[in-house]
Structures are given as C-alpha cells and as structure tokens.
Amino acid sequence: MHTQPTIRKVFEGVATRHEMYRMFNRHRGEPAYFAGEASHLFAGEWFEIAEREHDYMLELLPPLWMRAEMFALREFMTDDVTSIFFSLFIDGRKRFFHGYCDLSEKGSAERMRDAIIARESRPKKTMTREERIDHIWSSTLEDYRGYAGERWGEHLRGQRGPVLKLLDQLTDAEILAQLPVHLRYPPTQSRREEDVMTDYHFPPVVQPSIPAADMTPLERLVLGLAFDAEGENEGIYFHSWCGPSDIVTLSVDDLRAALEASREYSESGIVKHVSALLARHDAEAGDDPPDDIGVDLTDSDAGFDRMFQDIVRRSATIDEIVVTTSFTCTKMRPDGFGGSVMLVTDKAIRYRSTANVLEEFWNETAKESSASQPSSSQETS
C-alpha cells in the first residue's frame, strides 16, 4: 500500500542561498540515497526562502510547469520527486518557499501549499520536537553529522545524528542547547502582531566598491558567497540584506580551483585557511568524499574583515574599506535597533557599535559628575 509522504518543515527562518543549496542535499549521506531509494527522504520537506532565491531558481532553467503561485523545477531530485517553488500571500504578506513534491501523487503540490499556509498563518506556532530536530540537522555542517552504521545496533542503523548521538535520542534540554537562542523558546500565544516571533537582521554595506583586480580569485569567490555582490568592471559593491554569512558552502572543485589561482598571494589569510582546510579534507577523504565543503568565516584568519585588510594592503587604488551595519528588527523591540561601523586600513581594523558609543558616553558622564562634586576637604573647610 502506498502512503502519502508527511509534509514537514525542516528549517526555521528564511534560508540564505548557501543554506538553500545545503538543504537541497541534506540527505546526501543517507544509505538509502546511494541505494536509489531516496524518494521518502525528500518528498514532503519544505522551508522558507527569500524572493531573490525564488526568482533566481525561476530564471535558472525553464520550469517543468508553472501555475499562478508555484512552479516546478525541470530537474528531478530522485524518481518522481522534484522541487516546487511557492509564492504565497500569508497574513497579507507575500512569502516564498521551496518544497519537494512527489509528482506521481496527484495534487501533492496543492496539499503542500495548503499545509504551508496553515503552518505559517497567525497565530505563530511553536516549533514541534520534530521541527526542532530537523532544524538542527539542516543547520549542522556535513562534517559534523552522520548516520548510524555498523557500530550501532541493527535496529538503529540509518538513523541520523551528530557524532555518537542520535537525533531521536536527544533530550528536550539537549535539543534546546543545539538551537539558536531566538528559537529556543516558544512565542507568546497571542493574535497580536507584536507578539509574533521577532526576527533580527544586520544588513551591512561595504564602501568603496572594490576593483576586481585588487582581489584574489579566492577572495572574490568567498566574499561573493558571504555577501550579495553587484557590478564588475567599475568595482564590486558588497552588501547583504540580512547580514553576511558566517559559513559558506561550495563545491570542493570550485574551492580548489580558486585556491590554485590564488597561490601567488601567499600572505593572504584566506589562502592559508583554505589550504589547511583542503589538506584536512584530502587526508580524511574516504572512498566517497563529499562534493561540498564549508568554509567557516568566523575563524580569525578567514573573516571578511581580514580579507578586506589583505585587499587594502595590496591595492594601489583604495586606502581603506568601511563596513557600515544597521541592526534592525521586525518588531519595535528595545534591543533590536542600533548599528556599527568598521574601518579597515592596512595598519588596523577598528570597530565601534552604538552600544560601544553609548558606554563611552556613560563613562564620560560619570567622570564629569565626579569632577563636579566637591572633595571632602572642601566640604569641611
């Protein structure tokens, strides 16, 4: 008897482009994937994306079919399962989603559309245990997750889990510890708009536009994934609508090619970081090495600030790079607004946030107040 796949949300929040591609392949290591029996893994999964990712996928290839609020990708993931991209009005706002549907099931796309609308309509729903587990799996880099194999009991083999811990065996406390802070606690169950879960964004702009000739191929590749990039000949303008990515995921072949084209820039921090990363990847590669690799940009030698400084040091046209960031919030929360500025020169990287400036104001006020008060000797005279 054939059963319809369970429709399920597998990522909380709006996925960036590199997160979207990672989730396209979130079952790559599953034994059934290699056995050609992966339809049940993908069918029914969905997550939210931004409008630009929806439009990018629409322009990538002619769709298999297109309807008023959805289109199907021409390339199938497995068997009859392919990507469906949705453009839906929910509570008066247009939002965009990706889902895997089994097209052999009549009406599968419509059922997924209805399920998404029901799940995302107000009042905001608390994440279920299954949704939290799926978010942890989707957010964990491939190097740090796996499937139970021969070292596990036969009844556990094939289940997912970080190393030495099966996801289904995590306690509620362990699940909370693995989630980002803003996803750990349920939203207030209220129909008021101000009580719906808040999203925090940190959109930066980078000035001036950076000449392509001043960047190594590796810097150009990694920065173009961490930020949105516009322009080419007159210089590349980097920015991001929600904040730069901490981790970028790309194919091993693309990363290796960019590294080889950048070898002459041996002083580059990102060249050193990626060289070590690929050396470790090659040393640990088994019979079936992963096609993709994640580059962690939170490393002190690989951050975008260090890359910008390397660019300034070798550039003949720019003396500094300024990164101005706005702290914004989808609700008027007192902790949701502010900003920061970073000045990158060949000698130093300087940073100040509005919180830093406010602290300096408080310190100055305290000093002024202390100086204006009479000393004990003046009081007794």
CB 362 within 8 A of CB 348: no
- Tokens for 217? 């191929």
pLDDT of residue 21: 86
Instruction: Indicate the angle between helix axes 269-284 and 252-260, nearest 10 degrees.
Output: 130
Q: Residue 352 above 80 pLDDT?
A: yes
Q: Specify which of 10-19, 129-138, 250-259 reaches the highest per-range mean pLDDT.
A: 250-259
**Rounded to the nearest 5 degrees, what angle is found at the Cα of 198, between the Cα atoms of 197 and 200?**
150
Q: Residue 342 above 80 pLDDT?
A: yes
Distances 101 to 34, 48, 106, 107, 124 between C-alpha atoms, Å = 20, 15, 10, 9, 25
pLDDT of residue 148: 59
User: What is the phi-psi region of residue 289: left when phi exceeds 0, alpha when psi lies from -120 to 50, beta otherwise?
Assistant: beta
User: In this predicted model, what pLDDT tens digit does every residue of 97-120 receive, in sequence order?
Assistant: 999 999 989 899 999 999 999 988
Q: How confident is the model at residue 288 (pLDDT cuts 50, 70, 90)?
A: confident
pTM: 0.51
User: In this predicted model, what pLDDT tens digit does every residue of 182-224 receive, in sequence order?
Assistant: 555 554 444 344 444 567 788 899 999 999 999 999 999 999 9
- Cβ contacts of 85 within 8 Å, gap of 6 or more: 49, 54, 57, 58, 70, 71, 73, 96, 97, 98
How far apart are the C-alpha atoms of 233 and 241, rounded to whole Å? 23
Q: How confident is the model at residue 157 (pLDDT cuts 50, 70, 90)?
A: low
Question: At residue 224, what is the residue type?
Answer: G
User: In this predicted model, what pLDDT tens digit does every residue of 13-29 receive, in sequence order?
Assistant: 888 888 888 888 788 77
User: In this predicted model, what pLDDT tens digit does every residue of 172-189 receive, in sequence order?
Assistant: 666 666 665 555 555 444
Domain ranges of the chain: 8-195, 201-361
pLDDT of residue 243: 81
Nearest to 141 by CA among 253, 19, 10: 19
318 vs 166, more confident: 318
CB 357 within 8 A of CB 334: no
3-state secondary structure at position 203: coil
Count the alpha carbons within 13 Å of 106 in the hemisphere toward its beta carbon: 0
pLDDT of residue 368: 83
CB 179 within 8 A of CB 138: no
CB 11 within 8 A of CB 47: yes
CB 161 within 8 A of CB 148: yes
Q: How confident is the model at residue 311 (pLDDT cuts 50, 70, 90)?
A: very high
- Averaged pLDDT score across all residues of the chain: 81
Per 3-state DSSP, what percentage of the chain is helix, strand, and coil (rounded to 5)?
A: 40, 25, 35
3-state secondary structure at position 145: strand
- Span between the terminal Cα atoms of the chain, in Å: 99
Q: How confident is the model at residue 379 (pLDDT cuts 50, 70, 90)?
A: low
